[in-house]
């Protein structure tokens, strides 16, 4: 199986590169300047040339706060770019797995969001991603849209690495405790994507195309996430800090965040037999790898 992944430097793309090496999967990871999502001809030419068995569109504009002042740029990448990828896939009869976000919801639901619950993004980033979902679905019927959330890994910028950096600078950190969600470890998400891709390639006619949720099992708040990070960090010789719970109002940002980002993943499990591990397992593995990279022995 040959997979083409967009968003070469992203956390999921890097997780897919790593996971593919142990599965014997041929993976081509692309980004700028080889691929320009804003250029339809560039996208079409690349996919026609590579002729993969499946495309994973993991590239995205993810600067949530900056998107408030750059909504057109966010849409150019997250909506138009996604459509260009889907159209190129359709032209070559290649299934597409498109990565989306919990931010397509407004966060007011009492409970876990299901795939068919009403959407209602409350920031520019979320609106651009929702538009991308719609454009992908219209462009090609053989699509799998995976909504994920709170992604972290040993690579790039993410909440885990931010917390560790802040802990090295100060003894106490204030973290929002009234936004709920499910942290998702990028390598766990990558394994799920590979399993889904295998099904889509092996049985395209029997694959249940559509939208699915894929996040770490369980739930927490950003504050709970931070405390778990430092609990694990203490065992691995990494910086720790005391965590004080605050409200969203106490940490104003340019973009509003949904208070509830919990996603129900039953449909994914039922359709593909895929279920991501508990979010705490992901945190432990992420911290262990960061500690190993830092040369810290486990205490």
Which residues are identified as catalytic?
A: 125
Give me 90's structure tokens.
Answer: 């359709």
> How would you write the chain as a 3-class SS string?
CEEEEECCCCHHHHHHHHHHHHHCCEEEEECCCCCCCCCHHHHHHHHHHHCCCEEEECCCCCCCCHHHCCHHHHHHHHHHHHHHHHHHHHHCCCCEEEEEEHHHCCCCCCCCECCCCCCCCCCHHHHHHHHHHHHHHHHCCCEEEEEECCEECCCCCCHHHHHHHHHCCCCEEEEECCCEECCEEHHHHHHHHHHHHHHHHHCCCCCCCEEEECCCECCEEHHHHHHHHHHHHHHCCCCCCEEEEECHHHCCCCCCCCCECCECCHHHHHHHCCCCCEHHHHHHHHHHHHHHHHCCCCC
The residue among 118, 142, 141 whose CA lies nearest residue 196 is: 142
Residue 110's Cβ-count burial label (10 Å; 0-12, 13-18, 19+) is exposed
225 contacts: CB under 8 Å, gap ≥ 6 = 150, 159, 175, 183, 279, 283
């Amino acid at each position: 199986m040959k997979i083409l992944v967009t968003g070469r430097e992203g956390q999921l793309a890097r997780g897919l590169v790593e996971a593919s090496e142990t599965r014997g999967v041929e993976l081509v990871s692309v980004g700028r300047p080889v691929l320009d999502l804003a250029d339809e001809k560039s996208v079409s030419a690349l996919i026609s040339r590579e002729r993969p068995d499946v495309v994973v569109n993991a590239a995205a504009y993810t600067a949530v706060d900056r998107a408030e002042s750059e909504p057109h740029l966010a849409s150019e990448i997250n909506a138009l770019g996604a459509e260009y990828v889907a159209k190129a896939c359709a032209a070559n009869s290649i299934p597409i797995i498109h990565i989306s976000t919990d931010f397509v919801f407004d966060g007011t639901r009492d409970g876990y969001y299901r795939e068919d619950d009403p959407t209602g993004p409350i920031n520019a980033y979320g609106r651009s991603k929702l538009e991308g979902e719609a454009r992908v679905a219209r462009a090609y019927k053989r699509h799998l849209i995976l909504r994920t959330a709170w992604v972290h890994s040993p690579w790039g910028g993410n909440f885990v690495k931010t917390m560790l950096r802040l802990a090295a600078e100060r003894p106490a950190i204030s973290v929002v405790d009234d936004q709920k969600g499910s942290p998702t470890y990028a390598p766990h998400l990558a394994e799920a994507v590979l399993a889904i891709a295998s099904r889509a390639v092996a049985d395209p006619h029997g694959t249940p195309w559509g939208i699915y949720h894929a996040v770490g099992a369980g739930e927490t708040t950003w504050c709970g996430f931070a405390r778990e990070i430092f609990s694990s960090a203490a065992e691995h010789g990494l910086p720790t800090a005391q965590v004080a719970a605050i409200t969203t109002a106490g940490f104003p940002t340019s973009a509003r965040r949904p208070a509830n980002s919990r996603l129900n993943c039953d449909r994914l499990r039922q359709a593909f037999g895929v279920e991501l591990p508990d979010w705490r397992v992901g945190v432990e593995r992420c911290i262990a790898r960061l500690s190993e990279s830092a040369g810290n022995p486990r205490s």
